[in-house]
Each structure stands twice: as structure tokens, then as C-alpha cells.
Amino acid sequence: MNNIIVPVSLADRSYAIHIGQNLIADAAEHIAPLLKRPFAVIVTDANVAKAHLKNLESALAAKNIASKAIILPAGEATKSYKYLAELCDGLLAAGVERRDVVIALGGGVIGDLTGFAASILRRGVNFIQIPTSLLAQVDSSVGGKTGINSPLGKNLIGAFHQPVLVLADLDVLNTLPARQRAAGYAEIAKYGLLGDASFFEWLDKNVETIVQGGNDISATAHAVKTSCEMKARIVAEDETETGVRALLNLGHTFGHALEAACGYSDRLLHGEGVSIGMVQAFRFSEQLGHCAKGTADRVVSHLKRANLPTHSSDISGTLPPPEDLLNLMRQDKKAVGGKLTFILARSIGDAFIAKDVEDAKVLAFLKADIKS
């Protein structure tokens, strides 16, 4: 297939998302023009390093670009103060200068952590995203949100720092475990659910093909392209999330609380939390009278076909009581004046921002939902 280019238009912070095959093998062709000297540091995790680091190092070396690698542990727990400090020290020890480029090779954890380190290192250095998970390719690698987690909540420490390039190599998706691929699909479904009913209808016909992967990547390519185009439009309109960009958090207020309750562990992957959270958002919207009864059931049916969890009872182990989940939700970044902001829906493809939802209604919903 021919490579696809999706522009992200942000004045002097504009960049391109390249979507296609063999992009890691051809990485130097895209990266070399961005370097002030033939040197880059690659940040990755232990799992991705085994599968893809050598290929990227070889591609850079073939164009006489020297590189050093920093390999961190895999998993959400790496998005922490501890590893932020370790990474910053490692980048400085590797000799990164202010005009250099740091490459994030990995999923959302590596992209978020590396982007945040790049934003504060020497008061800001450029970085490149090479996302290796489906979730990162359609969401976290685009838009410049970087950060780490706190014990008090998800992504609460961070900065907006746009990459200078995104290379989404579709070939690497075939190395993903099935659970990780399904988790990434949740973010694809999100784009249809929040603002594009026709895309959701298309997904409904192609969900199994995208989740299962394989040699025919045409459906996956279209899903990644459409997701990136939608996110690029929203980010260009609202880079720092003061308005419409909040729509991209459909399912995240509920989902982030569940992730925190699970200790950011493998009990609940980010995309799985988003899946459950989107169902909760639609059920809550039904309860408040914003959308027709049965809409949430349609969402559940679709997400189950992607092998995703759709209810808190799908999470192994015990969850904290609803009151504690509500307290975790109060740490949401969209909260204003102590009041929660929710992304609710009028129908599939028509989400909206709600800033006037009473805590009592949220708590009553959580109590009923957890029991059901």
C-alpha cells in the first residue's frame, strides 16, 4: 500500500503523521532532515526493544546516524516520577543537547513519558513518535499530550509538547498480543461514537478484521487514517483542551478512575478502561434522558465483538466502593471549580461536553451500575 500522510496543522508546531508499511525500515529517510547532527537517542521498553529496536538502529546506521538506546520496563507503572527522573538523567548522560531529537519507540506509555521528558529536558528538545501499539497509533502519539501518572490519578502531571514527526508503521501491529490490539481498538471505536456515526457503521462491518489483524491491512489502514484525521482536526482547533478537544475523553472520566483503582496494572489496560467507561457514559446519558434507551446496549454489542470488557464486573478482583471511585473521578483534569466535566452522548456519533452534572447523580449511577 502507498503510505498515507495526515497533516497536523499547528502553525510553527505543525507536523505530519505517516501511516503505512516498512516505516521503521525507512525511518532514517524521514528522520534525517529533522536532525541538526547525525545523532539521536531512542527510548523504548523491554518488550518493544526485543521486537523492533535493532531494526530501527540498523535503519539509522545505514544513513550514518548514530544512536543510543534507553530501555525501560514495560507497563503503565513506568509512567511515574521514578522513571521520569531515570529517563531524564539517562538522556543527559547520553549527551542529548537542546537541538537534538529524542525518538519514542513504543506504545502510549513510552510516548507519553518520553514526550514529557523531552518537554522539560534543557527546557525543551524535539521528539519523534514511532508508535508500536494500535492505541498509540490512533490516539496517544498524536496531539502533544505528554505526562505521567500520580497515585492520585491518571496523567495529572504533564505538558503539551508536540512531536515533530509521527511514523505509524502498520507492520508492527502484527507483533501485538491479542489483548493489546483489542485495547487499541477501543480508541478507534471512540472516534465513531463521539462524532462520526457513519464511521461507526463502517467499523460495525469491519471490527473483527481490524482486531484480528493479519496480512490484509486495508481495513486497519483506513481505521488508523480516519482516527488520526479526526484527532488532527480537533487538535488543530483546540490544542490545549480548553473546549472541543475534551470530546476526545469520551469514556475516560469513568475509565481513568477504574485504572487508578486497579493500580495502573495489567488488571485493566487503558483501552479496556476506556471501553468500560464509554459504556458507562452511554448508560449515564440514557439515565439522564440525553439519548434513547438501548443505545448503550448497541455500544456493548459492538465492543464485545472486539473482545473488550464492557462492565466493571469484567475486571478481576475487588474494586473500591462507589464513593472512592467518585473521589478518584474528582481528580479528572477536566474538573472546573470542583465540579466534574463529563462527555455524554445524545446518540452514537453525537457526544457533548456536560459541566453541570451533580455529584449525587454520578454516585447514584455508580452504585446502580456496579451492582448490575
Catalytic residues: 123, 145, 187, 231, 241, 245, 249, 252, 256, 270
Report the sign of the C-alpha dihedral through residues 77, 275, 308, 116, in that order: negative
Closest CA to 244 of 336, 353, 152: 353
User: DSSP assignment, residue 176?
Assistant: S
- Contact present, 144 and 60 (Cβ < 8 Å): no
Closest CA to 23 of 166, 152, 188, 236: 166
Cα of first residue to Cα of last residue in the chain, in angstroms, is: 46
Q: If DSSP codes are grouped into helix, strand and coil, which group holds residue 125?
A: coil
Phi-psi region of 57 (alpha: psi -120 to 50; beta: other; left: phi over 0): alpha
Amino acid identity, position 102: V
Q: All 3 cell numbers of residue 34?
A: 529533522
| Pairing, β 342-347 against β 350-354 | antiparallel
- Residue-wise DSSP of 67-116: EEEEEE--SGGGSSHHHHHHHHHHHHHTT--TT-EEEEEESHHHHHHHHH
Question: Cα–Cα distance between 315 and 99 in angstroms, integer?
Answer: 45
